[in-house]
């Protein structure tokens, strides 16, 4: 009887159920920004913040940033809440990204559970690009790395992908940790016009450079007779009896 083993799949990520619809908050905020209503977007967030978080200076700065996004970011594409941090049982930080044709912005919201008003925004930051998220996101390696060795097409022009272009080239595996880097990455002989290096040991008799042939020779030179180890053979009829 055959037994099939199915690899366990990781459980899908779940949104934290804290009684606060942070996705709707980000969606409605960006809807106002995309419509050019920078001040309305600031007031929308201020209504969901703890007292003193959105003071006059912060409101002015945030409204100017929203206006710059609307005026210089191009067409609004969309937004997404990409992740969160559970700092404590009463403090969370959510990260969202807004996409425009000419700009990408990361929003960070720290929300805190108050004793009388439920969850409120206690801190908010804006940064260009996604550099802040790159520091938080884990690095996910791809399949075993392989390096392309560029080849040349029929006209001698260098091509980056030899297989796709029909040129001669080799896809060589990257060297294993601790292995000889030169031996692992040396290209094949028909790629650069040199023979493959068979040994890196000096004096091993594996000279990578072939000896040039004489003009008009049809093959390799025949080996010379041995000169040591015994007398030379003499022709018949000569010499002492």
Tokens found for residue 204: 């091993």
Here the tokens at position 223 are: 């080996």
Q: What is the pLDDT of residue 216?
A: 60
Query: DSSP letter string over 61-127?
Result: HHHHHHHHHHHHS-SEEEEEEEEEEEEETTEEEEEEEEEESS-EEEEEEEEEE-SSS-EEEEEEEEE
In this predicted model, what pLDDT tens digit does every residue of 162-174 receive, in sequence order?
Answer: 555 454 444 444 5
**Average pLDDT, integer, range 103-129:** 93
Residues 200 and 206: their CA atoms lie apart, in Å, by: 8
Residue 9 has pLDDT above 70, yes or no: no
> Does residue 212 surpass a pLDDT of 50?
yes
- The residues spanned by each domain of the chain are 22-136, 146-187
pLDDT at residue 209, rounded to an integer: 47
With a cut of 60, say whether residue 119 has pLDDT above it.
yes
User: pTM for the whole thing?
Assistant: 0.56
Two tokens, residue 166: 């029909």
Identify the CATH assignment for 22-136 out of 3.10.450.630, 3.40.50.300, 3.30.1280.10, 3.40.50.2300.
3.10.450.630
Which ranges constitute the DSSP H helices of the chain?
22-34, 38-46, 56-72, 131-136, 162-165, 181-185, 189-192
Residue recorded with tokens 């990408």: 104
Whole-angstrom Cα distance, residue 87 to residue 208?
62
């Amino acid at each position: 009887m055959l037994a099939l083993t199915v690899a366990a799949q990781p459980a899908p990520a779940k949104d934290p159920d804290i009684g606060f619809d942070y996705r709707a908050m980000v969606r409605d905020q960006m809807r106002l920004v995309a419509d050019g209503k920078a001040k309305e977007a600031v007031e929308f967030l201020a209504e969901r913040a703890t007292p003193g978080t959105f003071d006059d200076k912060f409101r002015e700065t945030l409204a100017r940033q929203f206006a710059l996004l609307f005026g210089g970011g191009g067409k609004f594409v969309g937004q997404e809440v990409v992740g969160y941090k559970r700092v404590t049982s009463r403090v969370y930080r959510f990260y969202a990204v807004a996409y425009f044709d000419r700009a990408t912005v990361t929003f960070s919201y720290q929300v805190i559970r108050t004793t009388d008003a439920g969850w409120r925004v206690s801190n908010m930051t804006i940064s260009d690009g996604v550099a802040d998220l790159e520091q938080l996101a884990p690095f996910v390696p791809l399949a075993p790395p392989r390096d392309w060795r560029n080849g040349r097409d029929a006209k001698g022009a260098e091509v980056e992908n030899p297989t796709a272009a029909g040129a001669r080239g080799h896809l060589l595996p990257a060297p294993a940790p601790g292995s000889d880097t030169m031996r692992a990455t040396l290209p094949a002989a028909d790629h650069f016009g040199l023979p493959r290096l068979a040994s890196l040991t000096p004096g091993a008799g594996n000279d990578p450079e072939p000896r040039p042939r004489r003009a008009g020779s049809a093959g390799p030179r025949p080996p010379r007779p041995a000169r040591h180890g015994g007398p030379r053979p003499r022709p018949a009829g000569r010499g002492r009896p």
